[in-house]
């Protein structure tokens, strides 16, 4: 069996047999990899706590017919603090669920890996507003997957401006001329908030945490946008405390 090495993020795990787990991993070189970690559920397993979801690990894997097998795992970042806080863990669950949806097997995924790591690090650094970090992550993920939301100019004709009609199907905001008749404009604050979430640096998102009413409206739009483009709602999203 061929042995290979990849640095990956554990997206999620499934119990297998008495003591094993199947891991769904996101790797830069091979995209989504499914691998078995033998004995990992036994206390005192040599993998210990290294292969829990959200862990960033350096792995040696044996290539298998259906599933690869983890030969060795070294920890790069554990993100323990994210796992030990319910709100952070719920946000991280949405992050990995969304990444799992857009990732493909056998497809280079360096940018996606970096985005997930950025998202997890931002959660760990800003535990006071995990929902904001999550929304910023989801907008970036949409862009990476080819559904960049237009938030600075009309998605129909390109005329610049913070237009206030948002159309999920059109892929962003629409000017008066392009908006279908009767469409309800958003609060200007929501459009500004969405643009800030999509465009600002991870550490400059605090401003976006401001008004709960605008936050909820923006979150709901981000979720609808992702659901539309991913084809199915994100299951973990419902459980994020808001």
Question: Where on the chain is the footprint of Zn ion (CB under 5 A)?
Answer: 154, 156-157, 175, 178
Provide the binding-site residues for another protein, judged by CB under 8 A.
12-13, 15-18, 43-44, 46-50, 52-55, 75, 78, 80, 83-86, 89-90, 93-94, 96-97, 235-236, 238-240
In angstroms, what CA-CA distances link 10 with 69, 136, 148, 164?
14, 21, 26, 39
Q: How far is the CB of 197 from another protein (least distance, A)?
A: 21
Residue whose entry in the numeric block shows the structure tokens 């960033």: 56
Residue 114 binding target from Zn ion, another protein, none, CB below 5 to 8 Å by type: none
Least distance in Å: CB of 91 to another protein? 9
Report what 70 binds from Zn ion, another protein, none; CB cut-off 5-8 Å by kind.
none
Structure tokens at 224: 């609808």
Structure tokens at 169: 């199907």
Closest contact distance (angstroms) between CB of 88 and another protein is 9
Residue with tokens 């790069």: 76
Q: Which does 239 bind (CB under 5 to 8 A by kind): another protein, Zn ion, none?
A: another protein
User: Taking the complex as a whole, how short is the minimal distance between the CB of residue 37 and another protein, in angstroms?
Assistant: 12
Spatial contact of 108 and 115, defined as CB atoms under 8 Å apart:
no
> Residue 124 or residue 178: which is nearer to Zn ion going by CB?
178
Partner that binds at residue 86, options Zn ion, another protein, none, CB closer than 5 to 8 Å by kind: another protein
Indicate the residue among 39 and 189 with the shorter CB distance to another protein.
39
Distance CA 192, CA 218 (A): 10
Identity of the residue, 40 or 165, whose beta carbon is nearer to Zn ion in the bound complex: 165
Between 47 and 129, CB nearer to another protein: 47
Q: Are strands 68-77 and 31-37 parallel, antiparallel or unpaired?
A: parallel
The answer to whether the CB of 21 falls within 8 A of the CB of 36 is: yes
49 binds, among another protein, Zn ion, none (CB under 5 to 8 A by kind): another protein
In the block, residue with structure tokens 């760990």: 124
d(CA 161, CA 179): 14
Provide the CA 162 distance to its chain's centre, in angstroms: 26
């Amino acid at each position: 069996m061929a042995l290979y090495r990849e640095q990956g993020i554990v997206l999620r795990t499934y119990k297998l047999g008495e003591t094993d787990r199947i891991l769904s991993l996101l790797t830069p070189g091979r995209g989504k990899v499914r691998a078995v970690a033998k004995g990992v559920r036994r206390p005192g397993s040599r993998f210990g706590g290294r292969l829990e979801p959200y862990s960033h690990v350096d792995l040696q894997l044996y290539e298998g017919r259906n599933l690869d097998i983890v030969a060795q795992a070294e920890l790069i970042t554990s993100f323990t603090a994210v796992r030990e806080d319910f709100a952070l863990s719920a946000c991280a669950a949405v992050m990995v669920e969304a990444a799992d949806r857009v990732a493909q097997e056998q497809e280079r995924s360096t940018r996606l890996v970096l985005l997930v790591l950025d998202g997890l690090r931002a959660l760990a650094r800003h535990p006071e507003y995990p929902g904001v970090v999550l929304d910023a992550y989801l907008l970036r993920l949409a862009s990476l997957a080819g559904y960049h939301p237009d938030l600075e100019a009309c998605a129909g004709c390109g005329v610049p401006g913070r237009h206030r009609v948002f159309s999920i199907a059109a892929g962003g905001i629409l000017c008066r001329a392009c908006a279908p008749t009767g469409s309800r404009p958003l609060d200007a604050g929501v459009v500004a908030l969405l643009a800030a979430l999509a465009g600002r640096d991870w550490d400059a998102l605090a401003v976006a945490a401001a008004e709960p009413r605008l936050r909820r409206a923006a979150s709901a739009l981000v979720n609808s946008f992702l659901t539309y483009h991913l084809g199915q709602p994100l299951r973990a999203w419902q459980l994020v405390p808001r």
